[in-house]
Amino acid sequence: MKQDVDPGPAGINPSSRRNAVMALVATGFLAGCASQPPERGAARRSRTQPPPADRYALTPSHPDRFTASSAGSGRGISVRREAVVANAMLLINTPYKWGGNTPEGGFDCSGLVHYVFGRVMGSGHTLPRTTAAWADATTPIKDAQMEPGDLVFFNTSGRRFSHMGILIGDRVFVHAPSSGGRVHTTSLSNPYFSRRYLGARRVFSA
């Protein structure tokens, strides 16, 4: 796998209906595993409305670390986790592209995460672009604490944090794996990835 690059944030212009996302989640997190790439119009109709920028705050002791403010606690965080999963599942079968960060241009692993969280969190944040930057900006958690919407990290190239994915539930994650591949789901019990697993980290504090 090639090393992540930092081409800069993709242009993100979210507009959506929450009910469509909730319906997608309700059908099951793994429903889109074998699906074809969503049509552009269908994807637009299923996207979620971004939360207000003031629903999130940066941890004072770590200015690059994301956490939920008190205004964003409770049900709002749960909805956003579901929105992360739904947006990630809509991108199943998108081609891998080194440095890619759009559905039209393809994704690398950190470009996929950047795009999905950018849609859910809105334009109020400058999000990390590389895998290492995401690891530095998020909070390590134990596997027993993992929830959908958390991030999982791997050493696939002899260096720490060389690959990442978005957990969607039951130890399954969505990721953009390698050149010539496509965005798909993989289990943490997969022999290749289980040997290279570094742990999970949390974007949302709840």
Catalogue the active-site residues.
109, 163, 175
Q: Tokens at residue 164, please?
A: 């990442």
In this structure, the dihedral spanned by the alpha carbons of residues 187, 164, 23 and 15, taken in order and rounded to 10 degrees, is -170
CB 173 within 8 A of CB 152: yes
Give, in order, the Cα–Cα distances in Å from 80 to each of 48, 61, 106, 136, 195: 9, 24, 24, 21, 30
Tokens of 196: 């290279």
| 18-26 and 75-89 helices, crossing angle to 10° | 70
